[in-house]
């Protein structure tokens, strides 16, 4: 028995090493790789992926899992490992390798075509490619399988938010949308915030230094991580003790770099906070896309854009940027970093309107997959949905259906729901932390973040994948996914900001 468990752990550890090595190659590709390295790097990453897949789906792994599942004497932690691995193993075996290769080659070509089509505002060229992608996404979902009463998007959602289904997400998102659309409208009717104080030139190095300082204060451990610059900010994990984040700098928009850093800091703190006892296993990972995003948004928005946080940091910021902020009031700055402005672009959206961008994408994905919407009608449906939800209409598809890479470079389905699930959970977790430690809001005004960080570590981070998203939600917040804390947070904050 112990021998079999050891053999399983040894095999799975090698698979994890291959995946983490691939993450290093990917990080290098995004940060420091010279242009010439691209072709060989693609080949090297494909080889590591293939090997990791082969080694993980080896018959022997299946045998060991079956044998170990029947054992009685496993420790609780080992039993969870076996059960999570069994789920991963089953999923990995469901999709034929030949289909995966074909799909991966299609999306690589599709991604390339998209970069050109977007530059040329040419949806027509993308239409047949996207139609093929939709067909293949459906096929992918069929391979993964779903409940006969379920929705074809379910297995695609499950791939990043395990256990979630359309039946569960749709009503939650509909309820949220019902609250958000009128709130956004009410805000839009108020006097608009002047955010010119953050839209001017800020020296590159000083932006980075300030952002790093806040990340460190929040609790991101630079001894077990680092911050680099990339085109798209991200967080990546090579082990519990090497979790790296990236950001970008916009010389003329102070918020871009800082809040990208704080966002990735949240992701990074989650991964750094996983229990050391899980290191080197597939359990040392965030449990779902939604829970992961709850942490990036909690630290970026609920903490990082709070008035309390800037009561502490604003004098420090003024000292670092005396020319830029010396004569700007704290409240002017606070308003500027929380300005609501319904727009066309998801990644530029403020906290209040962001979810409307996500919800409409989620809804369109579901409709495409279920066949109630055709690709050819997508651009126009996109435009009209933006008009009804956000009151804006893109002048072209570039800022419409061509804006996000997701559908062009991966499955249609499962790509977006995590963003909004994360926002909802961020408030749910924060409220639970404050209920347990009422001093947290005051601590934050003093620049003390450890009480909050420790609560999150104890209740969420350390568990890694040993608890599912719904288990960790229930256990940490005492309730299932629930939009009330989030709406109450938004109403309180933006009601005050816009005198509603």
CB atoms within 10 A of CB 375: 21
Question: Segment 197-226, which members bind a copy of itself (CB under 8 A)?
Answer: 221-226
Catalytic residue selected from 162, 264, 293, 300: 264
If the CB atoms of residues 7 and 448 are measured against a copy of itself, the closer one turns out to be 7
Cα-based distances in Å from 253 to 201, 258, 348, 404: 7, 10, 12, 22
Is the CB of 239 or the CB of 473 nearer to a copy of itself? 239
Sign, CA torsion 400/402/406/412? positive
Binding flag, residue 18, a copy of itself (CB under 8 A): yes
Beta strands 242-247 and 235-239 are antiparallel
Q: Are 57 and 256 in contact (CB under 8 A)?
A: no
- Which one of 43, 178, 200, 491 is in contact with a copy of itself (CB under 8 A)? 43
Q: Minimum distance between the CB of residue 47 and a copy of itself, rounded to whole angstroms?
A: 4
378, 387, 294, 49 alpha-carbon torsion, rounded to 10°? 20
Q: How far is the CB of 303 from a copy of itself (least distance, A)?
A: 24
Nearer to a copy of itself, 51 or 330 (CB): 51
- Return the residue of 4, 7, 14, 122 that touches a copy of itself, per CB under 8 A: 14
Q: Which is nearer to a copy of itself, 165 or 239 (CB)?
A: 239
**Residue 280 neighbours by CB distance under 10 Å:** 17
Q: Which two tokens stand for residue 93?
A: 């075996």
- Closer of 42 and 395 to a copy of itself (Cβ): 42
Binding a copy of itself (rule: CB under 8 A), the pick from 6, 47, 104, 252 is 47
Our CB check for a copy of itself shows the closer of 228 and 374 to be 228
Q: Could you tell me the two tokens for 358? A: 């996500």
Q: What is the DSSP letter of 241?
A: T
Does the footprint of a copy of itself cover residue 58 (CB under 8 A)?
Answer: no
- Smallest distance from the beta carbon of 366 to a copy of itself, in angstroms? 38
User: Which listed residue (39, 70, 76, 347) binds a copy of itself by CB under 8 A?
Assistant: 39
Cβ atoms of 280 and 239 closer than 8 Å = yes
Closest separation in Å from C-beta 256 to a copy of itself: 23
**CB–CB of 52/19 below 8 Å?**
yes
Residue reference for tokens 């926002």: 423
Per rule CB under 8 A, is residue 238 in the interface with a copy of itself? yes
CB of 42 to a copy of itself, least distance (A): 10
Count, residues near a copy of itself per rule CB under 8 A: 40
Instruction: State which residue, 36 or 73, has the beta carbon closest to a copy of itself.
Output: 36
Q: What is the DSSP string of 417-484?
A: HHHHHHHHHHHHHHHHHHHH-TTHHHHHHTT--HHHHHHHHHHTGGGGGGS-HHHHHHHHHSSSS-SH
Residue in this structure with the two tokens 């949806």, named with its chain if needed:
123
Give whichever of 21 and 436 is closer to a copy of itself, judged by the CB atom.
Answer: 21
Minimal distance, residue 462 CB to a copy of itself, in Å: 17
What residues does 235 pair with on adjacent strands?
Answer: 245
Question: How far is 178 from 335, CA to CA, in rounded Å?
Answer: 25
420 binds a copy of itself (CB under 8 A): no
- In the sheet that 227-229 helps form, which strands lie side by side, from edge to edge? 227-229, 242-247, 235-239
Confirm or reject binding of residue 13 to a copy of itself (CB under 8 A): yes
Residue 144 binds to a copy of itself (criterion: CB under 8 A) = no
Is 25 a binder of a copy of itself (CB under 8 A)? yes
Query: Which 3 state secondary structure label does DSSP give 400?
Result: coil
Does residue 21 belong to the site contacting a copy of itself (CB under 8 A)? yes
What is the footprint of a copy of itself within residues 242-271 (CB under 8 A)? Answer: 242, 244
Nearest distance from residue 26's CB to a copy of itself, in Å? 10
The residue from 37, 308, 343, 441 that contacts a copy of itself (CB under 8 A) is 37
Q: Interface with a copy of itself by CB under 8 A: which range of 37-45, 96-104, 296-304, 490-498? A: 37-45
Question: Mask 146-185, x = binds a copy of itself (CB under 8 A)?
Answer: ----------------------------------------
- How far apart (Å, rounded) are the C-alpha atoms in residues 308 and 310? 5
CB of 29 vs a copy of itself, minimal distance in Å:
9
Applying CB under 8 A, which of residues 62, 150, 163, 280 lies at the interface with a copy of itself? Answer: 280
- CA-to-CA dists, residue 276 to 156, 240, 279, 427, angstroms: 30, 7, 5, 27
Q: Give whole-number Cα distances, 103 to 41, 132, 138, 299, 458, in Å.
A: 19, 10, 12, 36, 40
Per CB under 8 A, does 437 bind a copy of itself?
no
Measured CA to CA, the distance from residue 214 to residue 210 in angstroms comes to: 6
- The DSSP secondary structure of 91-136, one letter per residue, reads HHHHS-HHHHHHHHHHHHHHHHHHHHHHHTT-HHHHHHHHHHHHHH
Report, in Å, the least distance between residue 27 CB and a copy of itself: 8
Quote the CA–CA distance of 367 and 361 in Å, as a whole number. Answer: 10
329 an active-site residue?
A: no
For the annotated catalytic residues, the residue numbers are 264
By CB under 8 A, name the binding residues for a copy of itself: 13-14, 17-18, 20-22, 24-25, 28, 32-37, 39-41, 43-44, 47-48, 50-51, 221-226, 228, 238-242, 244, 279-280
């Amino acid at each position: 028995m112990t021998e079999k468990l050891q053999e399983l752990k040894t095999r799975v550890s090698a698979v994890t090493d291959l995946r983490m090595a691939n993450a290093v190659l990917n990080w290098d590709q995004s940060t420091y790789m010279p242009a010439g390295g691209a072709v060989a790097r693609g080949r090297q990453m494909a080889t590591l992926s293939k090997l990791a897949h082969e080694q993980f789906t080896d018959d022997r792994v299946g045998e060991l899992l079956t044998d170990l599942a029947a054992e009685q004497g496993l420790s609780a932690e080992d039993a969870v490992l076996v059960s999570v691995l069994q789920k991963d193993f089953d999923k990995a075996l469901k999709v034929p390798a030949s289909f995966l290769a074909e799909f991966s080659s299609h999306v690589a070509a599709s991604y390339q075509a998209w970069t050109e089509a977007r530059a040329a505002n040419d949806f027509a060229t993308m239409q047949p490619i996207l139609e093929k992608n939709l067909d293949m996404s459906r096929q992918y979902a069929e391979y993964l399988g779903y409940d006969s009463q379920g929705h074809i998007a379910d297995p695609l959602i499950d791939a990043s938010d395990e256990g979630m289904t359309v039946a569960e997400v749709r009503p939650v998102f509909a309820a949220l949308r019902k609250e958000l659309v009128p709130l956004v409208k009410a805000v839009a009717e108020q006097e608009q915030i002047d955010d010119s104080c953050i839209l001017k030139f800020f020296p590159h190095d000083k932006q980075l230094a300030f952002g790093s300082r806040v990340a460190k204060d929040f609790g991101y451990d630079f001894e077990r991580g680092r911050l680099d610059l990339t085109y798209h900010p991200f967080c990546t994990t090579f082990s519990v003790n090497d979790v790296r984040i990236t950001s970008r700098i916009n010389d003329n928009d102070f918020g871009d770099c800082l809040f990208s850093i704080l966002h990735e800091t949240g992701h990074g703190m989650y991964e750094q906070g996983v229990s050391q006892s899980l290191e080197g296993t597939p359990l040392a990972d965030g449990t779902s896309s939604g829970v992961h995003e709850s942490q990036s948004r909690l630290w970026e928005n609920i903490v990082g854009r709070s008035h309390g946080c800037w009561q502490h940091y604003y004098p420090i910021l003024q000292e670092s940027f005396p020319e830029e902020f010396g004569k700007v009031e704290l409240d002017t700055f606070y308003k500027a970093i929380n300005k609501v402005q319904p727009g066309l672009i998801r990644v530029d959206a403020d906290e209040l309107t962001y979810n409307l961008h996500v919800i409409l994408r989620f809804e369109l994905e579901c409709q495409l997959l279920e066949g109630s919407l055709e690709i050819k009608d997508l651009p126009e449906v996109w435009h009209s949905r933006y008009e009804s939800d956000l009151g804006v209409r893109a002048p072209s598809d570039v800022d419409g259906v061509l804006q996000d890479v997701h559908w062009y470079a991966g499955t249609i389905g499962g790509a977006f729901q995590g963003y909004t699930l994360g926002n909802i959970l961020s408030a749910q977790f924060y409220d639970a932390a404050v209920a347990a430690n009422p001093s947290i809001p005051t601590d934050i005004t003093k620049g003390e973040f450890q009480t909050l960080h420790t609560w999150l570590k104890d209740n969420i981070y350390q568990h890694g994948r040993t608890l599912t998203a719904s288990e960790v939600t229930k256990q940490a917040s005492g309730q299932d996914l629930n939009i009330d804390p989030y709406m109450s947070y938004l109403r309180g904050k933006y009601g005050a900001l816009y005198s509603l």
